[in-house]
């Protein structure tokens, strides 16, 4: 077996690559904060400059109607070579609560082999090793084994509101045979894995009103409807005694796992005590009856109440019957479920449970369809060979419980989505003290290069 193509490159360029990573991480490109939108543009410009220095002849900052994305291409491998599109994002999450950070979130530092900074793993660090892999192949061999394109988004952390229109508008430019995403993770450094599916998401904000104004609880309590009680009944009724979602038809399109996926899921290590500890020390686990915790968070659909509010929440007590209440609910969807089916089902479910005379307002809060990578695609075999070569054992196949723009990428560009992410469960993504384990970073760089070589030799 030949040595990895970029092993020497990663070693000799190590100092420069870390300096580049630090420089990018210092830019506070928080897409959720309007005060930081100028920094998101600065981050896009920095990314474009990196791609230009790496050897990409065509580089452009793309306007989206919101915050900018970055495009680059190096398509000189010829018409018979496959075209690969690498997706990443350069925006980051807010840093609150700031007082829990061990070091300033935008002053990156490497401590005990870990790079600590906002964006280190999600997703500047993972995008950088993809860029450096391309640069390394061009520097060491003078060419790329594939036609390569990059698309680095600037709004992923706020739900990619302008991403699908961008894909549709630029579909010809972005056309590819395979999409590679490095915005996911692995089970552990010793148990490498690759994501093969991501759940979809559809969410709603429900507002209830029973009266024009709050009422004195001594004068009216016990005789008028209480919207706080109604909201509590509704959210409690979202699940039955088996932990199943009670919306009509919710499970009709749920796709069962293949035998290969079942075997891979059963092989994944699971430590319940460690899992509960990493979830903030919860005392017990719950969920849909008949399914393991790994199944519940990855391959089964869910309904989660993400907000519940009514009445007085300040100090002391205010003796009222509130006039309004509300709750927010997010449904995670699995392959074959469709976001557009959930809204009429949810409205029907509410209509059966809300008494006549109560005002109900339902506000949809966006939707993302689930994504699934075909396990029998030749590109999937190339990814598995790559991970085995770099991490020393074949990967297990996992499903990501979260949601992202990957479904739109695969659907609009009509290409399979491969996930070469190296994040670890305790990387504190979206939390204080986010980190990138640097050993995973260097393996990611080497693997990104190996994957391009593998894909260059795979049938289209």
Other beta carbons within 10 Å of 302 = 19
pLDDT of amino acid 233: 98
pLDDT at 404: 82
pTM: 0.87
Round to whole Å and give the CA distance between 284 and 18: 41
* Domain locations in the chain as residue ranges: 7-198+370-456, 200-254+301-368
The answer to which of 57-61, 89-93, 351-355, 396-400 has the lowest mean pLDDT is: 396-400
Percent residues over pLDDT 70 in the chain:
99
In this prediction, residues 319-346 reach a mean pLDDT of 96
pLDDT in tens, 142-185: 999 999 999 999 999 998 999 999 999 999 999 999 999 999 99
Tell me, which fold does domain 7-198+370-456 have in CATH?
Aminopeptidase (3.40.630)
What pLDDT score was predicted for residue 256?
85
- On whether the CB atoms of residues 56 and 74 are closer than 8 A, the answer is yes
* pLDDT score of 58: 97
What is the share, in percent, of the chain residues with pLDDT greater than 90?
Answer: 92
Q: Which of 157-161, 236-240, 294-298 has the highest mean pLDDT?
A: 236-240
Q: Which helix (H) or strand (E) segment is 362 a member of?
A: strand 359-368
Give the pLDDT confidence score for residue 255 in this predicted structure.
87
> In this structure, what token pair is assigned to residue 56?
């990409």
pLDDT tens for each residue of 355-409: 999 999 999 987 888 999 999 999 999 999 999 999 999 999 999 888 788 999 9
Asked if residue 242 has pLDDT above 60, the reply is: yes
Q: Reply yes or no on whether the pLDDT at 38 is more than 60.
A: yes
Q: How many C-beta atoms surround the C-beta of residue 454 within 10 A? A: 21
The answer, yes or no, to whether residue 205 has pLDDT greater than 60, is yes
pLDDT score, position 137: 98
Angle between helices 37-53 and 14-25 (to 10 degrees): 160
Out of 120-124, 325-329, 348-352, 405-409, least confident range: 405-409
- Res 21 pLDDT > 90: yes
User: Across the strands, what pairs with 115?
Assistant: 110, 436
Domains 7-198+370-456 and 200-254+301-368 in one fold: no
Tell me what pLDDT residue 1 has.
67
192 by DSSP, 3-state: which? Answer: coil
Give the mean pLDDT of 290-303: 94
DSSP annotation string for 329-364: EEEEE-TT--HHHHHHHHHHHHHHHSPTT-EEEEEE
- Tell me what pLDDT residue 458 has: 60
From the candidate CATH numbers 3.20.20.80, 3.65.10.10, 3.50.30.50, 3.30.70.360, the one assigned to the domain spanning 200-254+301-368 = 3.30.70.360
Compute the average pLDDT of residues 231-254: 98
**Please, what is the average pLDDT of the chain?**
95
In the predicted structure, residue 91 carries a pLDDT above the cut 60: yes
């Amino acid at each position: 077996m030949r040595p990895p193509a970029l092993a020497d490159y990663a070693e000799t360029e190590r100092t420069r690559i870390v300096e580049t990573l630090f420089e990018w991480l210092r830019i506070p490109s928080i897409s959720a904060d309007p005060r930081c939108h100028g920094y998101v543009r600065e981050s896009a410009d920095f990314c474009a400059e990196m791609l230009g220095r790496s050897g990409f002849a065509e580089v452009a900052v793309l306007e989206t109607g919101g915050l900018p994305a970055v495009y680059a291409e190096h398509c000189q491998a010829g018409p018979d070579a496959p075209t690969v599109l690498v997706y990443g994002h350069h925006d980051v999450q807010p840093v609150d609560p700031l007082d829990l950070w061990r070091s300033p979130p935008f002053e990156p530092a490497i401590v005990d082999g870990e790079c600590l900074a906002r964006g280190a793993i999600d997703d500047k660090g993972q995008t950088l090793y993809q860029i450096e892999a391309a640069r390394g192949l061009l520097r060491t061999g003078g060419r790329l084994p594939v036609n390569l394109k990059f698309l680095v988004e600037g709004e992923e952390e706020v739900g990619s509101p302008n991403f699908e229109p961008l894909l549709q508008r630029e579909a010809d430019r972005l056309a590819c045979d395979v999409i590679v995403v490095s915005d996911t993770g692995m089970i552990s450094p010793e148990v490498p894995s690759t994501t093969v599916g991501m759940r979809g998401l559809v969410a709603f904000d429900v507002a209830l009103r029973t009266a024009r104004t709050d009422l004195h609880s001594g004068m009216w309590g016990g005789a008028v409807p209480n919207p706080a009680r109604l909201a509590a009944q509704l959210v409690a009724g979202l699940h039955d005694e088996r932990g199943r979602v009670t919306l009509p038809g919710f499970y009709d399109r749920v796709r069962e796992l293949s035998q290969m996926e079942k075997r891979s899921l059963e092989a994944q290590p699971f430590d319940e005590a460690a899992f509960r500890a990493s979830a903030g020390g919860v005392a017990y686990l719950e969920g849909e009856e008949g399914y393991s915790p790994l199944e519940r968070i990855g391959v089964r659909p869910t309904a989660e109440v993400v907000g519940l509010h009514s009445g007085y929440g300040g100090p002391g007590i205010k003796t009222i019957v509130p006039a309004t209440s509300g709750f927010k609910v997010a449904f995670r969807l699995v392959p074959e479920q469709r976001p557009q089916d959930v809204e009429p089902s949810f409205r029907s479910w509410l209509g059966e449970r809300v008494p006549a005379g109560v005002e109900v307002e339902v506000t949809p809060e966006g939707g993302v369809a689930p994504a699934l990578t075909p396990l029998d695609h030749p590109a999937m075999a190339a990814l598995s060979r790559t991970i085995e070569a770099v991490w020393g054992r074949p990967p297990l196949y996992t499903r990501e419980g979260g949601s992202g723009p990957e479904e739109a990428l695969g659907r609009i560009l009509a290409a399979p989505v491969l996930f070469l992410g190296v994040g670890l469960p305790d990387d504190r993504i979206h939390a204080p003290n986010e980190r990138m384990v640097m050993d995973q970073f260097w393996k990611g760089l080497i693997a990104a290069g190996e994957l391009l070589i593998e894909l260059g030799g795979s049938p289209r």
